[in-house]
Every structure is written in structure tokens, then in C-alpha cells.
Structure 1
Amino acid sequence: MEEPISTPLPAHIFRAGPLPAKDVPFSSPGFATPAHPIRPRETRPIPAIEKPAFAPQLKPNNAQTVLPIILPPQTLRPVAFRTLTKKHNLTITSSGLGALANFVGKFCGERWRQEGLAERVLDEIAKQWKRDNGGLILDDGHDKKLKNILKSLEPCMSGGKLDVTRLSRSNNTVGSLSRSDSLLNRPDVSRDDSQASLGISGLDVQDEEMEEDDTTHEDARAYLKVVSAFNQPRLAYSVSKKTLELNTSTATLMPPIHHKIAAFRNRYHLVHQRLLRNESFQNTTFSKTTGVSTLSRSASTMASTTGAYKITPISNLLGRSGSSHLLLGLLVHSAAGDLSVTDLTGSTVLDISTARPIPDEDAWFCPGMIVLVEGTYDDDGSNNSNLGSAGGVGGQIRGRFVVDTIAGPPAERREVTLGTGHNHKIDAIHTVAGAGYGWFDFLGTGSEKALGQQMRRVQRRVLGHKDNNPENEDSRRTKVIMIGECTLDNPRTLEAIKAILNSQLASDEPSDRPLTVVLLGNFVSAASMVGSAKGGDSIHYKEAFDNLASVLSEFPSLLSTTTFVFVPGDNDPWASSFSAGAATLLPRQGIPELFTSRIRRAINNANTEANLKKDIDTPGEAIFTSNPARLSLFGPVEEIVLFRDDITSRIRRNAILFPKQEQDEEMADENDITQIHPDTEMPDPDIEAVASHVPSAANTTANSNAIDKPTFIGRRVTKLLLDQSHLAPFPNSIRPTLWDFSHSLSLYPLPTALCVCDAEAPAFCVTYEGCHVFNPGRVVEGGSGAGATRRGGGLARWVEYDVGRRRGEVREVRF
């Protein structure tokens, strides 16, 4: 067998250097070499480009790559508060914080906190904001000022850092005239920035001269915000954590049935935790009955050995017949029609044959209210539940509860709920014992602890009140006009509104112009769009608002300087299309834009004719909000609740009459409402301490025998609503509510003012536990016939509320 002949490789293959073209080896299938040789490309030299003499020297780009992240606004809040608020004395809103979080997360990336990139960016943004006269509140408003600043800084961001050279070059592109203007408009350098860096700003070191000279927003309307019931944060009480929690789930109009139970549970928990902080329910650690201090255990009866009251769960009544107890529960009608009280553990039937309400003449009690009931449990074997004697826990227990006294839970002042007290004489904040809910944002406008002190300084500067004394008031606008039951399909109502607006223009003083004009429905006299001839259709409803627009067009100076707020009633669309004038679901949406286009057009025309100065004057606007709604002025400082409901007639139809009251009503004259009913039994002072103080009117004397009818009715309505801390303390069969939005009906914490527009009640103004409650009533008063017209027309009535003094006054004018 012949051996394969191997061809020896030439020796120059192993030499260093490239092979000549003729010595390239042939193709070899075993090594997969190509059949044709691969020749290297000839490299041509690139001709050098001569650089011009004026071209700058380019530096290598050593900037690190930025990885954008999604930065939540609440994560950036501490850094923004430290940089913007403490250092630059600016107040940031939620919208502005969201815009800054998006900018920092996009251009600073994940290294925004570790390397302090966000602080440098926010510091430059604050300087630009002050340079552009942005004011004290940094927000992302309609003027797009913050967006323009962020857009100008985008080209200057490199590697997560702000390139100062690019920023200076961009600033130097303006002309010499604009440069001089920017230097003139730049705020003076103060020592606040240097002090803030050392932490001195936390000691409330303020420059009063700087506050007086800062007149960025002289109009208080720049700090006015209308909060709809559907935009409020959903806060609920957590029993496990003993505090409020934000419910982040999506609210729907058709929730599951357990949301209805949760709404009533939340009402009970809020009243219960508020009641336990009352002085009458505070147990002392040591007993004072003996000379030696010894620990004592609270009894389960009404009053313990320490002198404090103790609430007994209804399930604990089993086996304790003949003992006295104090119950806290919801008044309901049982399946058998008996009046019962129920809590989270069970229910029991009430015997009110000998009951006495507290106070005697200023209290109303209806099913659906949470009440305090004091009496004796009688286990006589009656009213047995289907679960048996042992199964009474969680259901209706047998026997009955003989009621001695019944009262509402005492209300809690706003300062106590928020954990801060406010001294109006020295305008100082001090801490008080309370719930400590000051860090919670109840309306989405900021919390009391975060913005309260700063916004009070702004309020003092804008409104001109130094010590809340009317003698030291400046010429600033502080009035809010409340006009109720504006039935626009009645020509006399339009004449009354015209007369009211004319009265606001009678003087040329700026203090006589209102900040806000609130018009509350019903805006038609009958339910609209229900198929009846009396209510009318959509065309007639729109014509009613067109007629109002014609009246408002006669006051262009008022339209361009005032905010008009419209709160609907039960007869307004679209809810009246299904309820036919009956009680609608609360809260309810505002009036659709379909019917209000003419009013918006009239206000826009007035703003155009007024030639307002940009960034100084606040143009007029029309806001068609929900029922109920809230007016927030200066953030968490002022909160005014707007509510339209004929609540007085609903209370009278469903109120519980006690035997003693029925006896007195037969003997007393129907027109004599100032009579004090005699009582042979002296009231227990301890029980009186559990009840709230009686509301007092601002313009009445201390003698209860001299109160008039409007004040008498106002005291009863005010006490009922504020003690219950709810706008609709009724069962759903009497006043239906949307379960997922029931938090918007809560009056906890108490607002600074409450407007209850009740067309069937007289106008009144009453103050109770620091909350001013008023009812404007009907706008048209007096006769409506031809004889009344010959006597000079009718009587227009409204309420003027002063946000500086927190007092309202009923006004009248003839037309």
C-alpha cells in the first residue's frame, strides 16, 4: 500500500510578516480555507481637515449614562421640603411636586439621592421661580410657568447634573435690555437661605419686613380652591392601628354590599374614638377615694370608681339584669317596629317611656343617629331573638333597656382633632392633646402640620389682619356671598339676584367686593326632565341659565373679579330625571356643561374686557361643583362646607318624640317657642357633662328665654349635624348615599364654617364648638302677588360670611 505523499510547506510561511501574494496557500477542504485568496483592502490616508481658528476645542464626553426611573412624588417630598420650603420659603402643591418628581426621575436617574443631584436641581428651579415672580406657592397651574422652567433646564442636564456653563450661555443669549430687566426683577438676597442651611429656619425665624413687602398675590382668590366631593381623599379609621388610613382602591357607583357595612362601621369608629378622648371618659390611673393611691379597675357600669364614664358593649348586657349602663350605638327600627340601639356586638330594644333627652329643648333624635343612652337593663325574657339566649351575641338580645337619658356624642373642636391649637390674638401655634391628625390631608390641599403655619402667615399678609381685630383691617376682600334656593324659572328670583349684586357694587371700596358668590339650588322650582309639564325639559332648563347669564352680563366688573360657585339641588339634572324630585343619592354630581355654556361665555367676555394683568390679577371664573362641596381658602386654614338639603323637614318627619315632649307640645302654644318646659326632676350634672355644650348665636344674649325662632331652629340643626359629624345621619331608606363616597359627607374634623342651605327653614347664623353654621334660606322673601309689587316688590335675603372674622350675617334688600 502506498503511503500518502505529503507536500512540504515552504519555510517562509513560518517567518514573521505578511505573505506575498504569490505564496498564499491553496484551498484546503479540511481547514475550510477559501478557494480564492482574500486580499486585504488598501487603506487610503484620510486628509486632515483644517480647523478654523475660532472653533472651540472639543472635550471628550465623559458624562455618565442616566437610567431614567419612575420617582413617586411622596419619595421626593422630604428633599423638596428641605430645599424649597426651608431654604427658599416656598410652598409646593401636589401638582407641582408631581412635575418635579417626573423631571428628577427622568434626568437624574437612580443616583438622585446618593449624589445629591436632586437638591442642586431643585435649588436652581427655586431660584428661577423667584426670578420669574412665581409667588409663594410653587404649583403647576394654568399659566404653565413651572413647565416652562423645566423645559428650559432640559438642555442643561448632562449625566444627571446641571451644567452651569450651558445654563449661563442660555441666560446670556438674551439682549442687554432683558438682562437689565432680569437683574431688576431678581429678588434681593436675604439671610434666610444661609440660615436655612444651618437649620435655623426650623426655629420660626421670620423677616416681617420681607413679608410686608411681598405683594405677589394681593387677591385672596389666588388661594381659593373648590374641592368636589368626588375628589376628596378616602380616609377610613383603622381599629388595629388606631389611626386613619388612606383607601387607595377605586371607588365605584355600584360597589359590593360589604362597602355599605364598612361605611356605617367607619362612622361608629370615628365617633367612638372621639368620645374616648373626652374628659368625662378619661380614666385616672390611681383612685382618689382612699388616702393611699392604689390601682383600680374600671367597672362595666355607667360610672366607674374613678369617676369616669365607661361604655358598655351591648353583648355584655347578658346576665346583668337590673344594672345601670351607658351604651353607644345606632338608633334603628327593628324588624318588629320597635326602637332599638345597635353597636358592633349586638342590639337591644329601648323603652323610652320615662326617657329624657339632653338638652331638653335643643335636641333632635332620629333613626340613623349614633347616640349615648343611659339606663337600666331589664332581662324580663321578652323580645327573644331566634338565636336563643346564648346566641344573643351579634344579634338582638332578649329583654329591654329602660332609658333614663339620651344624648348625642359631644362634638370635638377642629384644633383638638388636628392636634394643634391656634391663638388668634398672637397668631401662634401650640400643641394640644388630641387625636393628632394634623399630618393627614383631608381635602387634598395639604395637611395642617405641613402647610398650616405658612399659610396663616400668607393669610395675615393677604387679608391684612394682624390680631383678628376688625379695627385693624386693611382694604382687602373677605366676604363670601351665599344665595340659596335660586329658582331661575321664577322672574322674581332673577330680580332678587340682580338686587343683591347691585348692593355689592354700591361702594367703590375693594373690601365691599365679594371674593366668591355661591348660588345654591334648586335652580328650578320643580324636578326637570321627568316628563311632566311643570318641570319642563332640557330646553326650558337651559333657558333658565341663559336668563341668569343675561343678568350677570350687566355686572362685568364683578364677573372679572369674582368666583361664582353653583351647587345643585334635588330638582337639577341629571339626578332629577330618575328621582322625580325626591331625595337623590348623596353626593351628587354638578350641573352638566350642556346647560351652562352661556354663563361661561359671559365670564370669559368680562375677563377679556377687563384687560387683566398677567400673573397679578386672578380672572373671574364659574365653577359648577357637586353637592356637597368644600371651599378651601389658604390651604388647610379655612374650610367651608357647602350643602344643599331640606334637612329640617326630614328631621321633623322622622324625629323620635318622647312622652314628656308630647305632653308639653299639647300644653304649649304652637307660636311660643321660647317657653322653657318645667321639669320636676333636677338634671344630673354628670350626665350633663357628657353632652355637648349648647350652640350659641353670635348676635344673641346669654338668656335662652330671649332667643328668636330662626336661632332656636338653627341651634337644633347645628347640634345634630356637628355632634354626629355627618351631613346625612339617616338610614339609606330615608336619605340614600353612595357607599364608596360616604367619606365626603363626614364633618370630621369640624370645618371652620358650614353652609346648610335649607329652603324650608328660616335664615340663621350660629356658632358651635368653633364652627360657624349658617343657612341663607330662600333668596326671595315676602309676598309674590300684585299687591306686594305695588308696595315696593319683594325681599331678597342672603348671608355674607367674613373669612377674616369667621362670622356670618343675614342681609336683606328690597327690590
Structure 2
Amino acid sequence: MSESAPTTASILPILLPPPTLRPLAFRVFTKKHSLTITASSLQSLATFVGRNCGSGWREEGLAELVLDEIAKVWKKRGGGVILEDSESGNALLKSILRTMEANMSGGRVIIRDHARSTSGSALTLGHETADTEPGRAGNANERGQNSNEESLEIGDDSSLNDTRRWIKIISAFEQNRPVYNISKKNFDIITTPPSLFPPPSQRANLLRDRYNLIYQRLLRNEAFQIPLQGSTSSLSSMQRSYKLTSIANLLGRTGTSHLLLGLLSMSPAGDLSLTDLTGSITLDITHARAVPEDGAWFAPGMIVLVDGIYREEEVISGSTLNGSSGVGGAIGGRFTVASVGGPPCERREASTGASHRGEDGDMTVEGGFGWVDFLGVGSERSKGYRMRQIEKICLRKGQPSEQQEIRKRIVVMSEVNLDVPKTEGALTHVFESYASLAEEQMPLVFILIGNFVQHAIISGGGSGGSIECKEYFDILASILSNYPRLLQNATFVFVPGDNDPWASAYSAGSSTTVPRDAIPDLFTSRVKRAFTNANNEIPARTKSTPGQAIWSSNPARLSLFGPVHELVVFRDDISERLRRTSIFFKPQKALDDLNPTDGDMEVEKLDTEEPHSEERDGEKEREELQQQQQQIQNSTTTTQKNLHASRKLVKTILDQSHLSPFPQHIRPVLWDYAPVLHLYPLPTAMILADSSADPFAVTYEGCHVMNPGRLIPEGSRSLVRWIEYDVAKRKGSVKEERF
């Protein structure tokens, strides 16, 4: 017999009832590993423990060790959080128990030498360990040096190691529509078919769902939770915690200070008011200040936190537009606002519960809404662990020396105006810079964002008619046909803008409804044919994922490795709209007075420090030096302003957890599709294509937000800009070159 074969010790099997094993199973599976067992799974475990551990299952602690090993293998082999008795779950559990039984001796699991040398469980090799002959045990370790690859059984399949295989583009019209249920304190997925003509009650539900979503997020914040400690030790903590008051509860409490959460809106009388689920009240923002100072936008349609004092009316008005109508309507009096702020944001890890790392560095799921499948690609608790293992293999995380040779980039171009002659040269320059790279270094995805035509498509014809638009996309097809290697090895995603057909036929370039559907096939047939021709040239033996062109909606979402990596793509000139509709707060007077003076003092200091010279050459040199210093100072000031504007925009959108926090008359929303506009949980990254703002790449609360700006900046003749996003680092950078 081989030395590695275990020697079998005598065990007296017993009949172990499942209720007797339940407390131990709960402690091991649920408390330690965050797993849930069903009745049928508990029956299988009780039978297995009784047969293989015998009478010493409790006294000698054999059962706890065995159950702990089963839980580790279940997680390593990609099992869900529930040891379910469905077909897949039952087959996986039976396979684990068979493998475990073949590697047990005396009620204990025997760890072989090659398994001990790898990290993780003794049975990470799955069924292969049990079925392999003892003499071939050493070869198993040589075949797969990464234990994670062997546990997932994808190490030998090169097609599964292709990152593009795990990319999925999700249209807004195909995405799950989760709605927060205030009574269940969980999310419900709407299964009823959506309609473009829903009942009028759906408009009220749209705002109610937004409020409930932010309200529950706010209550989960530590600043709004009173610690459950002794009254003496927690006195200071209780004073620092915040408490929300509903608007209806302000009645009869004049002169008291309160913190309100509600929707900013304009009353029928034209006054600024705040509305929640219980009523509305008029706001007095004469002495209000924004928190932080000039750090976010505040406009009607946004949900905000308002701190101030309520003052009742001494004489109640009659049945006028701004009169009192009690609970459920506009209550009398005014709320004198001291400060206004946005609801604090919540990180993605806190929302999904994936915020704890185990001893092996793997993410574990606890709390949050890990069970909810927000996008239709699987929930965090069901697929998150397995997908993170695949991500490590595909992106080779932990191996910096090899990361340079993997495909991990996404290229983003916005405002690709095909009717502008210079766009053809700009696209050619960008595509040529990537087509010359090796296949291992090519980008995974090219995202081209509209407007694809500079002026709105009008069905009446003319220079902006549908025939001309079709010709513009034919030009794009001819450009793409010059780079067959890119078409064969990358995914091209096209996201429309407000000027693109057919939505612009009735909006004439104004704000269309969101979400909006993809560009019709009538215009894109030639582009799709270019991809078909390029893929036909690929040899049949090639296992790589073929290139494809996906015409998606606006907004669209890109899922990479299931629920692990989410990228939101949204095209909207939101900065322009915020500047038009935002509320103006009086700035701090000291800052306004000091800033111009400081700037003048620096210039004057530069003038006085220059030595006086009567020579002509010295004067020229001094003037040139002053001009250079002035240019540097101006560019630095402009950069700081642009950075501040980008941070202000990003904070506003992510705090609102919504892509379009505006009233319906400013930015219409399809009522039944409103849940797809929510940014909850926060995406991993977001492309906010705003042509009215300068390009930026900013990270806020773990969400990396990028704006590629215009492909060809205004006033530029030969400058091209785009964004390059690194999937492994989860960071983007603005690229700028001349063509």
C-alpha cells in the first residue's frame, strides 16, 4: 500500500437524529461561515456524521471539525449561501460528502501532503483528490499551481480565463427593477410587465420609492443610530446622534429645532417647500447655508436634509394656494432653515454586506442586502465569492509582474459627432493607437457615447434627416472596417444621446425621457455587418470570444464578473441643468472678500520683486517671465476650479443615489422604469458623459466617476480626448493627444 493512503480506524456508526445535530450545525455553518442549512441538508449531514464519526462526534469534537471542513469546501467550490436541496446544490453536497468520506480515518479528515502545501481546505481539489490514485497525487499539484483555479475547475479551460467572457451589457429595459419594501425592510423585484402608459398612481410611487430608499439608507448610517449602552457612558454619543422628524409632527411644536428629510419642490404659490410622506411645509432659506459650503448642488427634485426651527402662523390662512390643510397636505407656518445638506452616501460594500475580509484575504458577506439581485446577474451572497475567485484568476491579482500582460482596459469616447468632419480623423487616431498593440494588451471594451449627430434628427428630412443620419453611421462602419483586429478582439458598446434617433424626432434636441432605447437597426446595419465580416476571418480553432457590437440604451450598465464589478454609463448634460435650476445660497462673506485681494497681492508682489533695469533686453525678459508666471497661475486656478466643479457634481449625484434627481417637467422619466435609474448600491465605477463639463476622474465613497468630455474639445482643431479605465486598479485616466 502507498504511504500516502490513509489507514482506516474502527468507527462504530450510530443513528444521529437531525435535531440533535442542529445546534452544532447552526454554530458552525451559520455563525462561523454565514451559511444556511435546510432540513434535507441537515438530514444528510446527520447521517454522514453518525456513520463516519460514531459515538465520539460530540465528546471528541469530531463533528465540529468535519462540519467546518464541509463548509470550507462548499464555499471554495462556489456553493451558494444556502445548502439547498435543489438539483445543483444537492449534487454538490453529495460530491463533497463522497470526497470527504474517502479522505477520513478514525472520524477525522486526513490532509495529504500536496493539499497541505496549498492554502485553504484539504479538499480544495474537489472530487479530483478522491478519484486520483495515490501515486498520481504529486502530479495534481503540478497541473494547477493556483489552488483557486483547481477549486473552481477552470484552470485548464482557457476560454473561461478570458475576461471578455464575463462581460455583460445590461440594457435599462432588461434590468431588474428592485423597489424597497418599507414593511419587509428589504427589496422586492417587480415582476409585472412594465408599460409606457402606467396608471397615474405610478407617478406618486416613483417619488415614494426614492424617499424610502434614501430614508432606509439614512437610518443605517451610524450618525443616526443611538448606541445601546448605559445612560452615563452614552450621554455624549446620544448628543452627537441625529433624529429625524416627520413634517406632520411639527404641528403644535412652534419654536423648536428639528431635522427634516424631504423632497425639495415648488409650491403652487411659487414658494420653496419641503415634502415627505406625511405632508409639506414652506421653507425660509434667507439665512440658510449649504453643508458643505459650495460642495454640492441643491435643486427642486432632490431629497435633502434640512435643519432649522419651525414657526407656526399666528393667523391661519384660508383655503388659498399656500394655506394650511393639515396632515397629508401643506401644514401652516414656515420652517426657518439654518443649514441644508445632502443625505450621506453609503459605500457599495456596506449596501451589499461584502465589507469583511477573511483570514485568506477573500471577501465575506455579512448584513446588507447581499441576497438582492439588483441587475439580474446574481446576488452578492449567491455568486459573489465564486466570481471574485474568477476575477483573481483572469486579472491575476496578487501577481504584479504578470498584470502588464493581461487585458484590463476599457476605452470610453463621448460626444462622437459623426457629422463633424474632424471626428473621422480623431477616431482613426484613437483606433490606430490600440490596433498596433499585441492581442494581450488590447482593450476589452470600446464605449462610444452620443450624441452621434451634432443636431437633432428631424423626421421631416433636410440636413438633419434620417437619410443623412444613416450615411453618418455608414461612415463609422467604414472607419471600423479598417481595424479588423479590434473588431475581432473587443466589445463595442454604443450609447445614444438626446440628439440621436428616434427620440430626438419629437424632442428636437431638448431633454428626452429616460431611460431611452437604443438607436434603431435601420441606422446600424452597416456597422453590424462590419463586425460579422471581421469575425468570419477568425480561424475556427480559436477559442476566444468573438468581437461584437452592442447598441444599448441610455443609461446602460456593464457587469464584469457578475455582481463584483458594475459600471454605469449615462449620457446627460447634467451640469448645465444644475446651473439653471439650482438654489442659490448666500456664500460666506469672508471668503468672497479675501480671494480677490489675495490674488492681487500675489501679482503685485511679483511686480515689486523684479529688479528695475533700463536695458531693453532686460525689460523683454521680465515681461516674458511675468507672462509665463501669469499663465501658470491662470492654469492652476482653472484646474482647481474644474476639479472643484467635478467633485461638486459627483457628490450631488451619488448622494442622491439617482441619475436624474429633477422634477418631471425638467427631465421626464418613464414611470415604470424609474427603478433602473437608482444608484443603489453604488456602482464600482460610473461614466457620466457630460459635454457641458470638463473631463475628470474622481473617486467618491469608493465609486470612481469619470467624464470623458467631448471627443474633440470646443475650439480645438487637432486635439482628441478620451478616458482609459483600468479594470484591475478600478481607476480611470484622461487621455489627450493631437492627431
TM-score (norm 2): 0.74
Secondary structure of the 2:350 match is helix
Within the candidate set 344, 360, 363, 1:429 is matched to 363
Q: CA deviation at 1:237?
A: 1.0
Partner of 1:493: 423
The one-character-per-residue Cα deviations of 1:452-508 (angstroms, maximum 9, x if unpaired) are 1111111111111227xx555251100000000011111111211111111113433
Shift in CA distance, 768/121, structure 1 to aligned 2, threshold 3 Å: closer
The one-character-per-residue Cα deviations of 1:675-714 (angstroms, maximum 9, x if unpaired) are 9xxxxxxxxxxxxxxxxxxxxxxxxxxxx99962332221
In structure 1, C-alpha distance between the alignment counterparts of 2:94 and 2:423, rounded to whole Å: 54
1:764 aligns with 2:704: no
Partner of 2:199: 256
Partner of 2:549: 622
In structure 2, C-alpha distance between the alignment counterparts of 1:500 and 1:92, rounded to whole Å: 43
Shift in CA distance, 540/273, structure 1 to aligned 2, threshold 3 Å: same
C-alpha contact (below 8 Å) 2:316/2:324 kept by paired residues: no
The one-character-per-residue Cα deviations of 1:39-90 (angstroms, maximum 9, x if unpaired) are xxxxxxxxxxxxxxxxxxxxxxxxxxxxxxxxxxxxx9x99xx99x978987
In structure 2, C-alpha distance between the alignment counterparts of 1:418 and 1:121, rounded to whole Å: 26
Shift in CA distance, 541/389, structure 1 to aligned 2, threshold 3 Å: closer
Within the candidate set 267, 289, 312, 2:245 is matched to 312
1:332 aligns with 2:332: no
Q: CA deviation at 1:419?
A: 1.0
Aligned ranges for residues 452-601 of structure 1 at < 5 Å? 452-466=384-398, 470=400, 473-508=403-438, 510-511=440-441, 513-531=442-460, 533-534=462-463, 536-601=464-529
Identity %: 46
Unaligned runs of 5+ in 2: 1-37, 46-69, 96-122, 132-145, 603-635
Give the residue type in structure 2 aligned to 1:233.
N
In structure 1, C-alpha distance between the alignment counterparts of 2:598 and 2:491, rounded to whole Å: 41
Q: CA deviation at 1:420?
A: 1.5
1:402 aligns with 2:336: yes
C-alpha contact (below 8 Å) 1:782/1:795 kept by paired residues: no
Unaligned runs of 5+ in 1: 1-75, 94-112, 125-188, 198-205, 297-302, 676-703, 789-793
Within the candidate set 631, 634, 653, 2:561 is matched to 634
In structure 1, C-alpha distance between the alignment counterparts of 2:385 and 2:318, rounded to whole Å: 56
Instruction: Give the stretch that moved more between structures: 436-445 or 619-628.
Output: 436-445
In structure 1, C-alpha distance between the alignment counterparts of 2:734 and 2:129, rounded to whole Å: 49
Give the residue type in structure 2 aligned to 1:611.
P
Secondary structure of the 1:254 match is coil
In structure 2, C-alpha distance between the alignment counterparts of 1:652 and 1:422, rounded to whole Å: 40
The one-character-per-residue Cα deviations of 1:181-208 (angstroms, maximum 9, x if unpaired) are xxxxxxxx985138899xxxxxxxx934
Q: CA deviation at 1:268?
A: 0.2
Shift in CA distance, 425/207, structure 1 to aligned 2, threshold 3 Å: closer
Q: CA deviation at 1:531?
A: 2.8
1:238 aligns with 2:181: yes
Instruction: Give the stretch that moved more between structures: 621-630 or 303-312.
Output: 303-312
Give the residue type in structure 2 aligned to 1:349.
T
Shift in CA distance, 650/377, structure 1 to aligned 2, threshold 3 Å: same
Partner of 1:411: 345
Give the residue type in structure 1 aligned to 2:183.
S
C-alpha contact (below 8 Å) 1:798/1:811 kept by paired residues: yes
In structure 2, C-alpha distance between the alignment counterparts of 1:426 and 1:87, rounded to whole Å: 16
In structure 2, C-alpha distance between the alignment counterparts of 1:431 and 1:811, rounded to whole Å: 37
Give the residue type in structure 1 aligned to 2:413.
I
Aligned ranges for residues 35-184 of structure 1 at < 5 Å? none
Instruction: Give the stretch that moved more between structures: 760-769 or 775-784.
Output: 775-784
C-alpha contact (below 8 Å) 1:711/1:765 kept by paired residues: no
C-alpha contact (below 8 Å) 2:76/2:124 kept by paired residues: no
Q: CA deviation at 1:783?
A: 3.8
In structure 2, C-alpha distance between the alignment counterparts of 1:117 and 1:546, rounded to whole Å: 48
Shift in CA distance, 385/738, structure 1 to aligned 2, threshold 3 Å: farther
Q: CA deviation at 1:644?
A: 0.3
Give the residue type in structure 2 aligned to 1:776.
P
The one-character-per-residue Cα deviations of 1:735-764 (angstroms, maximum 9, x if unpaired) are 000000001100000000010001111000
Q: CA deviation at 1:510?
A: 1.9
1:714 aligns with 2:638: no
Q: CA deviation at 1:380?
A: 3.2
Partner of 2:667: 735
Partner of 1:367: 300
Shift in CA distance, 463/383, structure 1 to aligned 2, threshold 3 Å: farther
Q: CA deviation at 1:422?
A: 5.6
Within the candidate set 188, 200, 207, 2:147 is matched to 207
Within the candidate set 552, 570, 575, 1:648 is matched to 575
The one-character-per-residue Cα deviations of 1:83-106 (angstroms, maximum 9, x if unpaired) are 9x978987799xxxxxxxxxxxxx
1:804 aligns with 2:728: yes
In structure 1, C-alpha distance between the alignment counterparts of 2:644 and 2:88, rounded to whole Å: 62
Give the residue type in structure 2 aligned to 1:215.
S
Kindly tell me the number of residue pairs found equivalent between the two proteins. 591
Partner of 1:448: 380
In structure 2, C-alpha distance between the alignment counterparts of 1:805 and 1:489, rounded to whole Å: 36
In structure 2, C-alpha distance between the alignment counterparts of 1:356 and 1:90, rounded to whole Å: 54
Give the residue type in structure 1 aligned to 2:438.
D
The one-character-per-residue Cα deviations of 1:632-680 (angstroms, maximum 9, x if unpaired) are 01111110000000000000000100123799779977999xx9xxxxx
In structure 2, C-alpha distance between the alignment counterparts of 1:264 and 1:609, rounded to whole Å: 52
Give the residue type in structure 2 aligned to 1:521.
G
Secondary structure of the 2:375 match is coil
Secondary structure of the 2:454 match is coil
C-alpha contact (below 8 Å) 1:384/1:397 kept by paired residues: no
Partner of 2:56: none
Instruction: Give the stretch that moved more between structures: 546-555 or 473-482.
Output: 473-482
Shift in CA distance, 644/117, structure 1 to aligned 2, threshold 3 Å: closer
Give the residue type in structure 2 aligned to 1:608.
N
RMSD (Å) for aligned C-alpha atoms: 3.6
In structure 2, C-alpha distance between the alignment counterparts of 1:543 and 1:734, rounded to whole Å: 32
Partner of 2:587: 660
Partner of 1:604: 532
C-alpha contact (below 8 Å) 1:631/1:640 kept by paired residues: yes
In structure 2, C-alpha distance between the alignment counterparts of 1:718 and 1:235, rounded to whole Å: 23
Instruction: Give the stretch that moved more between structures: 574-583 or 416-425.
Output: 416-425
Shift in CA distance, 304/119, structure 1 to aligned 2, threshold 3 Å: closer
C-alpha contact (below 8 Å) 1:465/1:474 kept by paired residues: no
In structure 2, C-alpha distance between the alignment counterparts of 1:705 and 1:418, rounded to whole Å: 40
Q: CA deviation at 1:249?
A: 1.4
In structure 1, C-alpha distance between the alignment counterparts of 2:94 and 2:546, rounded to whole Å: 31
C-alpha contact (below 8 Å) 2:461/2:467 kept by paired residues: no
C-alpha contact (below 8 Å) 2:413/2:708 kept by paired residues: yes
Greater per-residue helix proportion: 2
C-alpha contact (below 8 Å) 1:757/1:776 kept by paired residues: yes
In structure 2, C-alpha distance between the alignment counterparts of 1:495 and 1:612, rounded to whole Å: 34
The one-character-per-residue Cα deviations of 1:344-372 (angstroms, maximum 9, x if unpaired) are 11111111111110111221101000000
Shift in CA distance, 783/190, structure 1 to aligned 2, threshold 3 Å: closer
Give the residue type in structure 1 aligned to 2:197.
M
The one-character-per-residue Cα deviations of 1:552-590 (angstroms, maximum 9, x if unpaired) are 111011110010000000011111111111100000000
In structure 2, C-alpha distance between the alignment counterparts of 1:811 and 1:510, rounded to whole Å: 21
In structure 1, C-alpha distance between the alignment counterparts of 2:597 and 2:679, rounded to whole Å: 33
C-alpha contact (below 8 Å) 1:514/1:562 kept by paired residues: yes
Q: CA deviation at 1:781?
A: 2.3
